Amino acid sequence: MTTSRLEWVLLQFGRKLWVRASLFSVLAVATAFVAILAKPYIPDDIQTKIGADAVDNVLGIIASSMLAVTIFSLSTMVAAFTAATNNVSPRATKLLMEDSTAQNALATFIGSFLFSVVGIVVLSTGAYGDGGRVVVFIVTIGVIIVIVLTLLRWIDHLSRLGRVGETTEKVEHATVKAMRGRIERPYLGGMRLDAEAAPSDTVLPAFANRIGYVQHVDAGALSELAEAAGGMVHIVALPGSFIDPSRPLAYCEGVDEDGVSEAAKAFTIGDERSFDQDPRFGLCVLSEIASRALSTALNDPGTAIDVIGRAVRVLSVWSGHADQNGEAEVAYPRLRVRPVELDDLFDDIFTPIARDGASVVEVHIRLQKALLMLGRMEGERFRDNAIRHSQLALERAEAALAIEHDRATLRGLADRVCDLDR
C-alpha cells in the first residue's frame, strides 16, 4: 500500500520513543488535574472513608519506584541495542528502537512517575479537597493495575530483547511486510516501466537536491501532478536507490519545469535506507546478519543457517508474483514505475552468504537445499535464479573446501537443483 508523504512522515514521527512517552506523560498530568474538576460529584460519605495520608503514601511509593524502574529499563534497552549492533547488524537496531512493547513500557513508567509527582504537589496545596482525594485514590488504583500488567509483559519482553533470534525475526517480519505491500501494488500503484526503456528527448528529468537514499515515494502526489498537466511521470529511482543531484529520480513527460520541481519533492531522501517501501533492504540486512555470524569473531554458522531458512520464507511470499506484467490494480495510470526484480532479491540475500560461508560445508548444504525448495516454487524465474545461485555457490565452495567428500556432497545437491530445468 502506498502512502502520502505527510502520512509517511507522521508514521516515522510516531515511531520515536519520546513521542509516545510525551503523550503518556501529558495524559498522566491531565489525569492528575481531572480530580479537581470531579471532586464536587463525590458523595460525602465516601470522602470520610479515605484519608489524605493513604493517597500521599501510595503516590510517594509510585514516584520513587517508577523513577528507578525507568532508569533500569533505559539502561537495559541501551545494553540490548549495543548487543544487537555488535552481534546482529547495526541496521537492525532501528527496529528495536521502534519496538512498540518497549516504548509502551517506558511511556507507562514515565507517565506513572509524572502522575504521582503532580498528584503529590497538588495534594500539598490542598487544591483537591476531600472529594479530589477520593478521585486521586481511585485513579491511583487504576494506575497501579496498569503498572503491574506492564511490568509482567515487560519482564517477559526483556528476556528476548536484543537477542540474535528475536532481532532476526523482527527483520524478517519487516521484510515480509514490505514485500506484501509491493506485491499489492508492484509498481507503487502505477504501471510497469521496463528497465531497458530509454527516455525520449521530450521529457524533463527531476533531480534530487542532496545525496542519500530514496526512503519514500509519494506516488499519489506524482499522479496528481501528471493528471493536472495531462502528462506522464516515469519513476526510475525506487525506494532504496542511492542517488545524487546528477542522477534523475524520475522523467516527467508533458510537465513544465515548475511541475518537475514539485515532482522531485515527492521523493523523500535520507541518510539511511528504510524498510517500509524497500523489500530489498530487509534481505540485505538478513544477509548482513548471516555474514557477521560467519565471521571469525563470532563463528556462528547456526545463525547463518537460520537466516537461510528465513530467506526461503521471505522469498516464498514473492512466489507467483515474480512474473506479473501489469495485472495488478492500477490506481495511478499516469505513473510508470520500474519493478523490483527477483534476480536482485536473490543476489541480495544469497551472494553474501555463499561468499562468506564458502569454507563452511554445513552452511552450503543448507543453502543448496534452500535453493532446491525455491526452485520448485511457482514461476520460471524462481527456477532460473535457484539454478544460477546454486552453481555460483558451488563454485565458491569448491574453491574453499579442502575435503573432496564435502565437495562431492555439494555437487550432488547442486545437480538436484540443476535437474529442475529438465
pLDDT for 86: 85
Q: What is the 3-state secondary structure (H, E, C) of 172-232?
A: HHHHHHHHHHHHHCCCCCCEECCCCCCCCCCCEEEECCCCEEEEEECHHHHHHHHHHHCCE
Spatial contact of 245 and 208, defined as CB atoms under 8 Å apart? yes
CA–CA separation, 41 vs 129, rounded Å? 12
Choice among 198-202, 291-295, 296-300, 410-414 with the minimum mean pLDDT: 198-202
Spatial contact of 288 and 89, defined as CB atoms under 8 Å apart? yes
pLDDT confidence tier of residue 39, bands split at 50, 70 and 90: low
Q: Helices in 243-379 by DSSP H: which ranges?
A: 257-265, 279-293, 301-316, 342-356, 361-375
Buried b (16+ CB within 10 A) or exposed e, 271-297: eebbbbbbbbbbbbbbbbbbbbbbeee
pLDDT for 282: 93
CA–CA separation, 78 vs 209, rounded Å? 35
pLDDT confidence tier of residue 339, bands split at 50, 70 and 90: confident
- In 3D space, the residue among 354, 367, 334 whose CA is nearest the CA of residue 400 turns out to be 354
- In 3D space, the residue among 291, 336, 289, 38 whose CA is nearest the CA of residue 186 turns out to be 336
Q: What is the pTM of this model?
A: 0.84
Q: Is the pLDDT of residue 196 over 80?
A: no
Helix (H, G, I), strand (E, B) or coil at 267: strand
For the segment 34-39, the average pLDDT, to the nearest whole number, is 70
26: which residues sit within 8 A by CB, 6+ positions away? Answer: none
Tell how far CA 118 is from the center of its chain. 36
Q: Which residue has the cell 532479491?
A: 345
Cell of 5: 508523504
Helix axes 279-293, 164-184, angle to 10 degrees: 160
Spatial contact of 339 and 185, defined as CB atoms under 8 Å apart? no
Cell of 303: 545463525
pLDDT for 353: 96
Q: Is the pLDDT of residue 413 over 60?
A: yes
Spatial contact of 100 and 154, defined as CB atoms under 8 Å apart? no
Residue 116 CA: distances (Å) to CA of 72, 125, 275, 377: 19, 14, 39, 58
CA–CA separation, 127 vs 22, rounded Å? 25
pLDDT for 398: 94
pLDDT for 130: 66
* Residue 59 parent element (H or E): helix 52-87
pLDDT for 173: 94
Decide which of 321 and 203 is more confident: 203
Helix (H, G, I), strand (E, B) or coil at 148: helix
Q: What is the 3-state secondary structure (H, E, C) of 84-153?
A: HHHHCCHHHHHHHHCCHHHHHHHHHHHHHHHHHHHHHHHHHHCCCHHHHHHHHHHHHHHHHHHHHHHHHH
Tell how far CA 114 is from the center of its chain. 31
pLDDT for 179: 92
DSSP letter assigned to residue 240: T
pLDDT confidence tier of residue 367, bands split at 50, 70 and 90: very high
Choice among 16-20, 286-290, 386-390 with the minimum mean pLDDT: 16-20
pLDDT for 271: 92
pLDDT for 326: 46
Q: What is the mean pLDDT of the chain?
A: 86
Spatial contact of 25 and 110, defined as CB atoms under 8 Å apart? yes
How buried is residue 201: exposed, middle or buried, by Cβ count under 10 Å (0-12/13-18/19+)? exposed
How buried is residue 371: exposed, middle or buried, by Cβ count under 10 Å (0-12/13-18/19+)? buried
Residue 347 CA: distances (Å) to CA of 254, 343, 354, 386: 37, 6, 10, 10
pLDDT for 197: 57
How much of the chain, in percent, has pLDDT values that exceed 90? 45
Spatial contact of 332 and 271, defined as CB atoms under 8 Å apart? no
Domain 185-270 has CATH 3.90.1170.30: yes
